[in-house]
């Protein structure tokens, strides 16, 4: 049977103090209690731990050999207790989050900053991925939380909507449509269109809008991220239909943002595993996500 932490503490204290009496005083217990514990220790170990010399208890060679292991075991236990205390007070641990790029660039920087402000020993892992990949990572419990864009259905995760945006059309500021109140598929019939891939939520919605308007969709450039689409618009390649996330300061870049019609919403959605409870760190992070949204 392995020695218990209390027995290790008694053994170490006797070694340091040189007597059962002194050890009892240090540990705030009776001398008979220390003597009984020492006897139990020696019975379990199968050898004597002390010999008496000149009124002192002197560790045997076996006990001296054991001392470094005792110290390591107690140090490890102390470290574990401190770590558990940090987990209890949310001051230590690791939080992993996966999100689609548009949410990585908008909501999460402020939320992570707020979350880490009082948690210097917490590590946050932030992964940018596609909708499908984020869902897979959450469903397989490889990350604590995921942020995706709707429309998406999945049976392995739970979810709640975070915030939403209408689709927009991004064009150069001197484009013929730049002063329009809204842009419709009919207005883009002869325009080179920069569109997100059909497996992306915005790309899917774009194709639905054109189908609904009975306008043929002719894509000049297909991209996987809105940042790439913006660069192509800046370069004069064409016009882009995007979500409204991460679209600040486009006027300074010589671009115009026009509402796209028919109105179609894309929603940022938080997901977590249906089969694994959220950690306390994850729950605390969600509070900071909500606070960041309220302050934006």
Our count of domains for the chain comes to: 3
Least confident of 27-36, 87-96, 189-198: 87-96
Task: Say yes or no: 15 and 77 in one domain.
Answer: yes
Please state the rounded mean pLDDT for residues 13-41. Answer: 87
- What pLDDT was estimated at residue 8? 83
Please state the rounded mean pLDDT for residues 236-243. Answer: 94
Statement: residue 77 has pLDDT above 60: yes
Statement: residue 104 has pLDDT above 80: yes
Does a cis peptide bond (omega within 30 degrees of 0) precede residue 226?
no
Please tell me the distance from the alpha carbon of residue 157 to that of residue 276, in angstroms, as a whole number: 10
Task: Say yes or no: 149 and 288 in one domain.
Answer: yes
Specify the higher pLDDT residue, 165 or 84. Answer: 165
Task: Say yes or no: 100 and 246 in one domain.
Answer: no
83 pLDDT band (50/70/90 cuts)? Answer: low
Task: Say yes or no: 192 and 259 in one domain.
Answer: yes
Least confident of 112-116, 244-248, 255-259: 244-248
Task: Say yes or no: 148 and 279 in one domain.
Answer: yes
List the structure tokens of 28.
Answer: 């705030």
Task: Say yes or no: 148 and 280 in one domain.
Answer: yes
CA dihedral 44, 48, 54, 55 (to 10 degrees): 20
- What pLDDT was estimated at residue 239? 95
- What pLDDT was estimated at residue 254? 84
Q: What is the pLDDT of residues 207-230, one digit of tens each?
A: 999 999 999 998 999 998 888 899
Statement: residue 22 has pLDDT above 90: no
Strand partners, 59: 50
Statement: residue 89 has pLDDT above 70: no
Range of the structural domain that residue 119 is part of: 92-163+268-295
Task: Say yes or no: 199 and 259 in one domain.
Answer: yes
Q: 139 φ, ψ to 5°?
A: -60, -35
193 pLDDT band (50/70/90 cuts)? Answer: very high
Q: In CATH, what number is assigned to the domain containing residue 12?
A: 1.10.10.10
Statement: residue 11 has pLDDT above 70: yes
Please state the rounded mean pLDDT for residues 246-270. Answer: 84
Write down the mean pLDDT value for the chain.
86
Specify the higher pLDDT residue, 38 or 91. Answer: 38
Least confident of 77-91, 187-201, 278-292: 77-91
Statement: residue 265 has pLDDT above 80: yes
Task: Say yes or no: 153 and 186 in one domain.
Answer: no
Please state the rounded mean pLDDT for residues 59-81. Answer: 79
152 pLDDT band (50/70/90 cuts)? Answer: low
pTM > 0.85: no
Please state the rounded mean pLDDT for residues 154-167. Answer: 87
- What pLDDT was estimated at residue 245? 79
Q: Report percent pLDDT > 90 for the chain.
A: 40
Q: In CATH, what number is assigned to the domain containing residue 239?
A: 3.40.190.10
């Amino acid at each position: 049977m392995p020695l218990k932490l209390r027995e290790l503490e008694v053994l170490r204290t006797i070694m340091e103090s040189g007597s059962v009496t002194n050890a009892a005083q240090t540990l705030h217990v009776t001398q008979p209690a220390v003597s009984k514990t020492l006897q139990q220790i020696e019975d379990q170990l199968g050898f004597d731990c002390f010999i008496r010399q000149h009124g002192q208890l002197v560790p045997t060679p076996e006990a001296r050999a054991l001392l470094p292991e005792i110290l390591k075991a107690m140090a490890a236990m102390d470290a574990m207790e401190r770590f558990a205390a940090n987990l209890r007070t949310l001051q230590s641990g690791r939080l992993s989050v996966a999100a689609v790029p548009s949410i990585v660039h908008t909501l999460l920087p402020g939320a992570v900053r707020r979350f880490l402000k009082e948690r210097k020993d917490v590590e946050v892992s932030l992964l940018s991925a596609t909708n499908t990949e984020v869902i897979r990572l959450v469903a397989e419990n490889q990350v604590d939380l995921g942020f995706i864009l709707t429309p998406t259905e999945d049976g392995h995760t739970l979810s709640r909507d975070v915030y939403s945006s209408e689709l927009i059309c991004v064009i150069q500021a001197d484009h013929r449509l730049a002063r329009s109140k809204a842009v419709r598929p009919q207005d883009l019939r002869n325009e080179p269109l920069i569109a997100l891939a059909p497996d992306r939520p915005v790309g899917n919605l774009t194709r639905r809008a054109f189908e609904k308007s009975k306008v043929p969709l002719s894509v000049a450039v297909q991209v996987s991220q809105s940042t790439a689409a913006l660069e192509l618009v800046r370069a004069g390649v064409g016009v882009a239909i995007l979500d409204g996330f991460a679209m600040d300061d486009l006027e300074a870049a010589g671009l115009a943002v026009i509402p796209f019609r028919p109105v179609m919403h894309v929603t940022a959605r938080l997901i977590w595993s249906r089969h694994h409870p959220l950690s306390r760190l994850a729950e605390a992070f969600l509070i900071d996500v909500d606070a960041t949204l309220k302050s934006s």
